[in-house]
Homo-oligomer: A and B are copies of this chain.
Amino acid sequence: MADLKTSDTSALKVNQSELWQRYNEFKAKNLKLDMTRGRPCAEQLDLSLGLLDCLGQKDYKAADGTDCRNYGGAGGGVDGLPEIKELFARYLEVEPEEIIIGGNSSLALMYDLIVRAMLHGVPGSATPWGRLPKVKFLCPSPGYDRHFAICEDLGIEMITVTLNDDGPDMDEVERLVAGDDSIKGIWCVPRYSNPTGITFSDEIVDRFAQMKTKAPDFRILWDNAYAVHHLNGRIEPLKNLLTACKDAGNPDRVFIFGSTSKISFAGAGIAVIGSSATNINWFRKHLGVQTIGPDKLNQLRHIRFFSNMDGIMAQMQKHAAIIKPKFEMVFEILESELGGKNIAFYNKPNGGYFISLNTMDGCAKKVVAMAAEAGVALTKAGATYPYGNDPWDRNIRIAPTMPPLAELKQAMELVAICIQLASIDKLLESRI
């Protein structure tokens, strides 16, 4: 198809009027489709139905005899059943003493971690972060809006860093952390990044482990949310950052997060935090004041249902079989509608939950607004940047997993129409 940027104005205008007609046809259908968040679809959730009845009335004891219906258990029960710690230590690639099992939300573990840092400081802090005149975090972007929301809620200044195809721009990261001791942390989704789907290269991991930070208590928040969420039957390798940090003499630099929210049930799964024993012991000390412990029955359900890592990996293949056609549908529509027109650029991830789509500069908000007006709710434009402010107004996060294929097809056709209309508007404006 023709590059719109070099098409002549009259051709653009003909194209525009055809597109408006299609847009209005969509609008007349009164669609109501929600693609705002990365939610699993009903078929994916059905994969875990066994979790709902796997315990039964006679099965409530852990391997060590702990009655999971009651308070207590190994080590007071504050950080999880031994067998679930063992399983998720394998999942996170850490040792069992380097993990704490949380409740149902890894986001809450991240939030609570930063809260503890604000109120107490982390191991190695001279001062609680909250008593410093300023605390800053680096935010490789496009990134995850809920990470950014945590910083905003806690009054942490965000500095946008470019996220490349192999990870954050490390020249920029190294320069910033070496020169400013108020920079205390960085957010990372290192595998199948939200939303761009990229995986950090070994070199990037090593540079994270080895870089000099002016703040002695700098921490990397390594949200490995999509650790096993492969789409294409092949695994993009990710070097173990905790090991790399130990090897580099910075053993306490990283906290790793994970959850089963997109393995078992979203919001009714299990969240985990992994780090050096020093960091984990510090976290546990405050955790034991915050709560008597997590829901051990839900941990027991997960052990019964998955058994081991093989069980988890087999489940993930079933997830992939359900959602891969959805990703492919998105690529197909984008290609057939926008291919060759030079107005939209997107990744084709090998895992994760999102497709990151860049329009021409200055078009994303308009596209999202037009789609909403015709009944398709997308993630808010700008959400993938700190403060909801995409400096180029171009990034749109596509979350293809939740809608059924037929609806997804409609939604993406509409999105493609909106992109073309917004682009043509832009091009025509520039020619006035």
The chain A residues found within 8 Å of chain B, CB to CB, are: 37, 39-40, 42, 45, 48-50, 52-53, 55-57, 59-60, 67-72, 77, 103-105, 107-108, 111-112, 115, 118-119, 130, 146, 149-150, 152-155, 261, 265-268, 286, 289-298
* Chain B residues in 8 Å Cβ range of A56: 52-53
Q: Are A267 and B289 in contact (CB under 8 A)?
A: no
Ranked 10 nearest A-B pairs via Cβ = A153-B289, A105-B291, A45-B69, A111-B290, A49-B57, A268-B297, A108-B291, A69-B265, A71-B266, A104-B295
A105 and chain B: residue at smallest CB distance: B291
Complex: A265 Cα to B298 Cα, angstroms? 12
Q: Are B153 and A112 in contact (CB under 8 A)?
A: no
Q: Are A268 and B296 in contact (CB under 8 A)?
A: yes
A402 and chain B: residue at smallest CB distance: B70
Q: Are B77 and A267 in contact (CB under 8 A)?
A: yes
Asked, given contacts A68-B268, A297-B268, whether A286 binds B53 with beta carbons under 8 Å apart, the answer is no
Q: Are B72 and A48 in contact (CB under 8 A)?
A: no
Complex: A103 Cα to B70 Cα, angstroms? 16
Complex: A71 Cα to B290 Cα, angstroms? 24
Q: How far is the CB of A129 from chain B (nearest CB, A)?
A: 11
Partner of A130 from the list B39, B108, B119 (CB cut-off 8 Å) is: B119
Complex: A341 Cα to B64 Cα, angstroms? 44
Q: Are A37 and B266 in contact (CB under 8 A)?
A: no
Complex: A40 Cα to B45 Cα, angstroms? 34
Q: How far is the CB of A133 from chain B (nearest CB, A)?
A: 12
Q: Are A104 and B71 in contact (CB under 8 A)?
A: no
* Chain B residues in 8 Å Cβ range of A48: 69
A-B contacts, 13 of them at CB < 8 A, read A39-B71, A40-B70, A48-B69, A53-B55, A69-B268, A103-B295, A104-B295, A118-B119, A119-B130, A119-B154, A153-B286, A266-B292, A268-B295
Q: Are A53 and B42 in contact (CB under 8 A)?
A: no
A52 and chain B: residue at smallest CB distance: B55
Q: Are A70 and B111 in contact (CB under 8 A)?
A: no
Q: Beyond A103-B104, A268-B296, list 5 extra A-B contacts (CB 8 Å).
A: A39-B71, A53-B53, A104-B294, A112-B290, A118-B119
Partner of A296 from the list B49, B115, B267, B291 (CB cut-off 8 Å) is: B267
* Chain B residues in 8 Å Cβ range of A291: 104-105, 107-108, 111
Q: How far is the CB of A417 from chain B (nearest CB, A)?
A: 27
Complex: A71 Cα to B146 Cα, angstroms? 14
Q: Are B268 and A52 in contact (CB under 8 A)?
A: no
Complex: A295 Cα to B119 Cα, angstroms? 27
Complex: A292 Cα to B262 Cα, angstroms? 13
Q: How far is the CB of A428 from chain B (nearest CB, A)?
A: 39
* Chain B residues in 8 Å Cβ range of A108: 290-291
Asked, given contacts A103-B103, A267-B295, A295-B298, whether A289 binds B77 with beta carbons under 8 Å apart, the answer is no
Q: Are A111 and B289 in contact (CB under 8 A)?
A: yes
Q: Are A150 and B57 in contact (CB under 8 A)?
A: no
Complex: A52 Cα to B297 Cα, angstroms? 9
